[in-house]
């Protein structure tokens, strides 16, 4: 089966090279260098619809399309392409494939690794794919890869439902879902990939397909943790789950209590048997200070007695309280270090 799958991918890549689309050339292309990449950017601009955009370094919108949470993972691309339809994305990937130029695909830009979602070639920003469509009849949600998870939760909150997504602010939908996805809900429902029912995918040869366990079962399996190796996803159809208020918050500690806190974390990890209870520990060095925070989460308005006592019994600041799921996610301090790593 694996051999067949590898052969299938090779055929897709071969097709992407040989299946030349009806593309209007705007420039004569020479060696693959920045001048050629610039010409390819202009070719893309000539062939996509007015809905989609191509930005260059001097354009006002360029910076936002290449920026990342970690400044170390931001590369300066020759141009940034913002497709707004799957059809335009298909045209873009065909042009890139024919000309064999480097490219990167950016969802929320939360990756810490240079080159994972950035490039010195052609940057593809998925920001236009920002749909959140809840279907109460089959209890599913269509989610676009151009969003961050706090935006998804905000749009679902009026329906009292949620999806199995990211735990802190600023995490992009695309990379998170294609990489696996640990969530506050994972102890109850599994990884985020376990709750994805269907993908809309633009394959390496530009074909737009709906991938599920019936249409393309091997590809469906490959997308569950296979990152961006099998194409570019333009929509995730996910299971929706009921969501009421939750209990939790952030507890802040100084380095003085680090030994007690580490022991408390080990105790909680060893003894907790409640799938609704989770913690997230963060060690942060900022402005010559070293702080530790614990984000505690319980998936109900109140937690059973003693659930988080091993943490609240240690000297700390902050409190645990009943709040919305969105509020707890937004309270995470991750954004404080934006562009500082």
Q: What is the pLDDT of residue 59?
A: 95
Indicate the DSSP class of residue 277.
Answer: E
Contact residues for 183 (Cβ-Cβ < 8 A; gap 6+) = 164, 165, 166, 167, 189, 191, 192
Q: How far apart are CA 182 and CA 68, in angstroms?
A: 21
- Residue closest to 203 by CA, chosen among 179, 178, 223, 181: 223
Q: The tokens of 3 are what?
A: 């051999």
In the block, residue with structure tokens 């007695």? 305
CATH class of the region 2-125: alpha beta
Mean pLDDT over 47-67 rounds to: 96
What is the DSSP code string of 114-159?
Answer: TTTS--SSEEEE-TT---EEEETTTTEEEE-TTSBHHHHHHHHGGG
Q: What is the pLDDT of residue 71?
A: 84
pTM (two decimals): 0.87
Q: What is the pLDDT of residue 26?
A: 45
CA distances from 339 to 68, 127, 285 (A): 7, 19, 14
Mean pLDDT over 175-184 rounds to: 95
CA distances from 122 to 19, 33, 266 (A): 21, 12, 45
For residue 12, which phi and psi values (nearest 5 degrees)? -60, -45
Q: What is the pLDDT of residues 63-84, one digit of tens each?
A: 999 998 888 888 999 999 999 9
Mean pLDDT over 207-226 rounds to: 97
Q: Would you say residue 338 has pLDDT above 80? A: no
Instruction: Tell me which of 26-40, 68-82, 125-139, 299-313 is least confident.
Output: 26-40
* Comparison of pLDDT for 151 and 2, the residue scoring more: 151
Does residue 210 contact residue 110 with C-beta atoms inside 8 Å?
Answer: no
Domain ranges of the chain: 2-125, 132-242, 246-323
How buried is 241 (Cβ within 10 angstroms: 0-12 exposed, 13-18 middle, 19+ buried)?
middle
* pLDDT bracket for residue 1 (50, 70, 90): very low
Q: Would you say residue 57 has pLDDT above 70? A: yes
* pLDDT bracket for residue 335 (50, 70, 90): low
Q: The tokens of 318 are what?
A: 């902050």
Q: What is the pLDDT of residue 334?
A: 66
Q: What is the pLDDT of residue 339?
A: 53
- Residue closest to 85 by CA, chosen among 93, 77, 95: 93
* pLDDT bracket for residue 289 (50, 70, 90): confident
CATH class of the region 132-242: alpha beta
Number of residues that make up the chain: 341
Contact residues for 28 (Cβ-Cβ < 8 A; gap 6+) = 39
CATH number for 246-323: choose from 3.40.50, 3.30.1050, 3.30.70, 1.10.10. Answer: 3.30.70
Q: Would you say residue 20 has pLDDT above 90? A: no
User: Is the four-CA dihedral 184, 185, 187, 193 of positive or negative sign?
Assistant: negative
* pLDDT bracket for residue 10 (50, 70, 90): very low
Percent of the chain with pLDDT over 70: 87
Please state, rounded to an integer, the average pLDDT across all residues of the chain. 89
Q: What is the pLDDT of residue 112?
A: 82
Q: What is the pLDDT of residues 131-149, one digit of tens each?
A: 999 999 999 999 999 999 9
Between the two ends of the chain, the Cα-to-Cα distance in Å is 42
């Amino acid at each position: 089966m694996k051999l067949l799958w590898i052969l299938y991918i090779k055929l897709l890549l071969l097709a992407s090279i040989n299946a030349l689309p009806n593309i209007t050339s705007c420039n004569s292309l020479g060696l693959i260098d920045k001048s050629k990449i610039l010409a390819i950017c202009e070719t893309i601009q000539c062939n996509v619809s007015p809905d989609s955009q191509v930005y260059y370094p001097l354009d006002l919108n360029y910076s936002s399309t290449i920026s990342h949470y970690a400044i170390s993972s931001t590369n300066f691309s020759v141009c940034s392409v913002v497709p707004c339809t799957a059809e335009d994305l298909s045209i873009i990937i065909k042009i890139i494939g024919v000309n064999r130029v480097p490219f990167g695909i950016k969802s929320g830009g939360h990756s810490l690794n240079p080159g994972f979602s950035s490039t010195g070639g052609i940057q593809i920003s998925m920001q236009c794919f920002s749909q959140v469509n809840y279907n109460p009849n089959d209890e599913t949600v269509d989610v676009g890869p151009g969003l961050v998870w706090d935006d998804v939760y905000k749009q679902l909150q009026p329906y009292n439902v949620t999806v199995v997504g990211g735990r802190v602010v600023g995490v992009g939908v695309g990379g998170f879902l294609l990489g696996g996805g640990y969530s506050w809900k994972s102890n109850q429902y599994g990884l985020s990939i376990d709750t994805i029912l269907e993908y809309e995918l633009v394959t390496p040869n530009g074909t737009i397909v709906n991938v599920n366990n019936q249409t393309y079962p091997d590809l469906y399996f490959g997308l569950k943790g296979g990152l961006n190796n099998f194409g570019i996803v333009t929509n995730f159809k996910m299971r929706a789950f009921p969501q009421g208020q939750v209990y939790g918050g952030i507890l802040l500690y100084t380095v003085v209590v680090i030994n007690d806190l580490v022991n408390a974390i080990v105790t909680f990890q060893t003894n907790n048997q409640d799938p609704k209870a989770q913690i997230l520990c963060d060690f942060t060095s900022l402005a010559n200070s070293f702080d530790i925070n614990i984000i505690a989460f319980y998936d109900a308005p109140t937690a059973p007695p003693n659930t988080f006592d091993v943490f609240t019994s240690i000297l700390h600041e902050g409190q645990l309280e009943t709040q919305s799921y969105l509020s707890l996610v937004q309270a995470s301090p991750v954004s404080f270090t934006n562009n500082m790593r």
